Amino acid sequence: MSFIGEPGSRLLRTAVFAIGVCAAKHGETEADTLVKEALPSLVKRVEEEAAIDNAVAAALKICCHCHKSLSDTELFHAVEKVMNRLPLEHDEEEMKTVGDLLFHFLLLRPEERVQAAVLGPNGENRAKIFDMLKAQWEGDPERAHMLAQLNSSTWH
């Protein structure tokens, strides 16, 4: 994605956002290959100090929605880098999307490989995810109910 522009540029943010949307809307289709090819570049962006929140969210969307086309190494490496950047600090809308995605793939539609990657070795990310969702969903009665469900589930 070096052709897209400098870190933080509007074009880069828009392109990265579009990749995430493509993964979310068209995962497990012919778009898998295209989106999968973007993952190494996104992970590289995620590792940068000035990582943009869109890159973090897009990488997570690929890992969750296109996981069947990723090797274990690709999936676990990318998710580890994403989890190290959470919670997102600059883009509240992307943080909401990330929270909803984590909740969806951990409780509503758990995929074993995605769940294992997101929770991390020995479940080390459980508390971080729970605390992140708790802070994000505070004051929302519907989401408070989902958080209680998550807290009582077997993964926490």
* DSSP helix/strand/coil, 70: coil
109 DSSP 8-state letter: S
The reported pLDDT for the residue numbered 79 is 92
Pick the closest to residue 69 from 25, 15, 109, 27 (CA basis): 27
The reported pLDDT for the residue numbered 1 is 46
The reported pLDDT for the residue numbered 7 is 55
The reported pLDDT for the residue numbered 42 is 82
| Those residues with Cβ within 8 angstroms of residue 97's Cβ, 6 or more apart along the chain or in another chain | 57
| Tokens representing residue 135 in the block | 């802070």
Beta carbons of 16 and 45 less than 8 angstroms apart: yes
Beta carbons of 60 and 98 less than 8 angstroms apart: yes
Could you write out the DSSP letters of every residue in 21-40?
HHHHHHTTSTHHHHHHHHHH
The reported pLDDT for the residue numbered 5 is 52
* Euclidean distance between CA atoms 59 and 136, whole angstroms: 20
CATH architecture label of 7-153: Alpha Horseshoe (1.25)
Chunked mean pLDDT (size 10), the chain, 156 residues: 55 74 71 74 77 86 86 92 90 89 80 89 90 87 78 60
The reported pLDDT for the residue numbered 90 is 87
The reported pLDDT for the residue numbered 77 is 92
This prediction's pTM: 0.78
